Amino acid sequence: MNQEIQLISDGEGLAVIGDSTAVERFLATEELPSKELDLHRIKGALSTGAAAAQAGSEIAANSGRWVKLTAESAQKVKKYGLMRGKTPGVRHAMIGEPGEVKSWLQIATKPGAMLTNPAMLAGVAGIMSQLAMQQQMAEITAYLATIDEKLDDVLRAQKDTVLAQMIGVGLQIDAAMTIRDHVGRVNDVTWSKIQATSGTIADTQAYALLQLDALADKLEHKQDVGELATAAKDAERTAREWLAVLARSFQLQDAISVLELDRVLETAPDDLDGHRTGIQAARQQRLNAISHTTEQLMARLDAAAGTANTKVLMHPTKSRAVVESSNQVGADVTEFQGRLGIEHERTVLEARRWTDAAISAKDTALEAGAEGIDTARRLSGDARDTAVELGTEGVGAAKRLANDTGDAARSATDKIAKRIRRKSDPGS
């Protein structure tokens, strides 16, 4: 039994090719989950002649599995020292099992036909790209299923033509993928139905990005806590809908790319490498644009939460609402980015406690009381607002503030007012 297997990686996934028993033993040894990699689809990319016949016989004799490369699985594969080849972005190696199951070693002296035939390697790389995108599409499907609002309901509620069109385009592309699964290829009839749909998807994606930008802009220059609370709540209510539109548009773009690679593999196999790398570059540009827009939105929301935390003494309810909205949108964005493979970490923000703000304001107000209102006006945030309020309106204002914020507020604010009054009038 031939125990040699060939490893091919494009950075996103790993193809493991060889005798089915050896392949399964290798995957079990390394504890790597995998999916089937259909080598027979590469036959259309091979030219005629002895090299093609040799490659064809190797396809018939071997089976293939595909492994999605995560941080953990990539570390396991790294030890095999995959080497760069002539195919752009692809590394490969051939390894064997000289004895023990756990002693797979690299063999550099006997590369198989899979690694020496450029058309074979390009075909494998193309199929690997398709599998990686289909894996991402499945992640997006799972993400959309977790959203309370159905995506079609979100789209139908919009009056914009470009969003409404995406429903029909999505149905056409889904149908094409289903036919591909049954037929095993993308024929002329199927391709003719979807080849002009990419423009509609791109327009929809751009529109959704603009809507998220608009939400961020509403938050940029607002300092009033009431206005911030309104804008943050609006972002909480609508951001998830636009994230769903973005996710669906990205999923459909990946589906179109899968279908494109099938067509190129069948009609222009010599262009497969260039088309594959072009698709990857365009996809990364889309990811960069989505990442930039969503992170801009979160930066504005976090800034709004920071501003609200400085106003918590005078506006406890609205300040907390701003922080809560920021955290909710942050959770939605983080989940969305993860489903698209965008690496991003975010720390949950904490709403500032009223008692902490009251203590800080008390200390600042005591210092400011001796120097009068001019000093108080130079302060910032809660301390400034409280000192100016108490210095100009006296104990009456302190009592009104206390009534608004409860028993704890009443006790703390009365103490501040009394101390400021004694500081301002030593003879009293």
Residue closest to 366 by CA, chosen among 400, 390, 399, 401: 390
Asked if residue 227 is part of any domain, the answer here is yes
Same domain, 363 and 325: no
- Per-residue confidence (pLDDT) for residue 355, from 0 to 100: 56
Q: Binning pLDDT at 50, 70 and 90, where does residue 404 land?
A: very low
Between CA 302 and CA 156 the distance in angstroms is: 31
Asked if residue 382 is part of any domain, the answer here is yes
Asked if residue 409 is part of any domain, the answer here is yes
Are 170 and 208 in contact by the 8 Å Cβ rule? The answer is: no
Residue finishing a domain among 118, 133, 165? 118
Asked if residue 347 is part of any domain, the answer here is no
Same domain, 18 and 109: yes
Percentage, residues of the chain above pLDDT 90: 23
The yes-or-no verdict on residue 18 having pLDDT over 70 is yes
Same domain, 186 and 107: no
**Distances from the Cα of 43 to the Cα of 22, 84, 131, angstroms:** 23, 24, 18
Percentage, residues of the chain above pLDDT 70: 65
Residue range(s) defining the domain that contains residue 209: 147-339
- Per-residue confidence (pLDDT) for residue 401, from 0 to 100: 42
Asked if residue 131 is part of any domain, the answer here is no
Between CA 118 and CA 196 the distance in angstroms is: 31
- Per-residue confidence (pLDDT) for residue 417, from 0 to 100: 45
Torsion of CA 18, 24, 29, 33, to 10 degrees: 110
Asked if residue 133 is part of any domain, the answer here is no
Asked if residue 137 is part of any domain, the answer here is no
Highest mean pLDDT among 2-16, 20-34, 273-287, 309-323: 273-287
Same domain, 166 and 197: yes
Q: Pick 161 or 325 by higher pLDDT.
A: 325
Asked if residue 374 is part of any domain, the answer here is yes
Query: pTM of the prediction?
Result: 0.74
Report the pLDDT averaged over residues 211-218.
Answer: 89
With H, G, I as helix, E, B as strand and everything else as coil, classify residue 169: helix
Same domain, 197 and 307: yes
Q: Is 203 exposed, middle or buried (0-12, 13-18, 19+ CB in 10 A)?
A: middle
Bridge partner list, 9: 14, 91
Residue finishing a domain among 339, 366, 397? 339
Residue closest to 358 by CA, chosen among 422, 293, 424, 416: 416
In degrees rounded to 5, what are phi and psi of residue 35? -125, 160
61 alpha carbon, distance to own chain's centre: 40
Residue finishing a domain among 313, 339, 365? 339
Q: How many domains does the chain have?
A: 3
Each residue of 19-28: pLDDT tens digit? Answer: 888 889 888 8
- Per-residue confidence (pLDDT) for residue 45, from 0 to 100: 58
334 alpha carbon, distance to own chain's centre: 6
Same domain, 303 and 238: yes
- Per-residue confidence (pLDDT) for residue 353, from 0 to 100: 57
Same domain, 262 and 399: no
Same domain, 323 and 417: no
The yes-or-no verdict on residue 179 having pLDDT over 70 is yes
Same domain, 189 and 311: yes
231 alpha carbon, distance to own chain's centre: 23
Between CA 311 and CA 385 the distance in angstroms is: 8
Same domain, 152 and 94: no
In degrees rounded to 5, what are phi and psi of residue 197? -90, -15
Same domain, 324 and 200: yes
Same domain, 210 and 334: yes
Between CA 80 and CA 146 the distance in angstroms is: 39
